[in-house]
Amino acid sequence: MTATGSVGSVGSVASSVRVVVVTGATGATGRATCAAVLARGEQVVAVGRDAASLESLRAELDDALGDDAGGRLDTRVCDLLDGGAVQALARDVVADHGHVDALFHLVGGWRGGDRFTDSTDDDWRWLSGNLVDTLRHTTLALHDHLLASGRGRVAIVSAAAAQAPTAGNAAYASAKAAAETWLGALADSFGSDGATPGSAAVIGVVRWIGTGRTATSPAAIAEWLTGLLDGDPSALNGARVDL
């Protein structure tokens, strides 16, 4: 599957404006993050699997933020499970915008049960695909561009379960732990000798996303993510932050 997109007012975006790729953009956290990044005056590339959902996102953000923000929203349809499609997406985004400064990877999902033996092969394929393979594909495709920006940021939202797994959460916790390990390797790459200074890969940790007493809201996650854009990369790179 190839990536397709619609670009809004690319020529008007100054080089000082950050280009922020938000994957999983049509979920609750993705929508809040797109709105928060646009409100800062940055350019957003919102990536999702469904064109209708992306159009709904555009209409929602146009209503909330106005035409100026809408002109800085670029929506892209891409199957992030398809590594070739993600490479094509990265090439197209850089061709259209000139650079990429951040990747907020918000593709998520949960499957589990009450018992350890409830875990199925289908659960593992679905979780490892959505939580790990999409992250692998996007970070491999954008790695060099994020380094070249001089201020690259990559962030994921992980779960406390990755370090405190339970029997019914075996597959989910394992996939989240694998995603954290992958991001740790990315942080090591950003910090290696010869890397362009300024890039950071960061993990945010929640118990769950929602509005309950022990939950972290999409708005709070969006606020944390946008704050990373101005944070000290030497302090951020490789950090695991409780949200």
> What is the model's pTM?
0.92
How far is it, in rounded angstroms, from Cα 220 to Cα 199? 23
Give the pLDDT score at 7.
Answer: 44
pLDDT in tens, 126-149: 999 999 999 999 999 999 999 999
Q: Return the amino acid letter for 29.
A: T
> For the chain, how big is the Rg over CA atoms in Å?
17
Give the pLDDT score at 9.
Answer: 38
Is the pLDDT at 6 greater than 70? The verdict is no
**Stated length of the chain:** 243
* Per-domain residue ranges of the chain: 14-242
Strands of the sheet containing 102-105, edge to edge, are 4-6, 73-77, 43-48, 19-23, 102-105, 153-159, 200-206, 240-242
Domain 14-242 has CATH 3.40.50.720: yes
pLDDT in tens, 75-109: 999 999 999 999 999 999 999 999 999 999 999 99
DSSP H helical ranges for the chain: 28-39, 51-65, 67-70, 83-97, 121-128, 134-149, 170-190, 218-228, 233-236
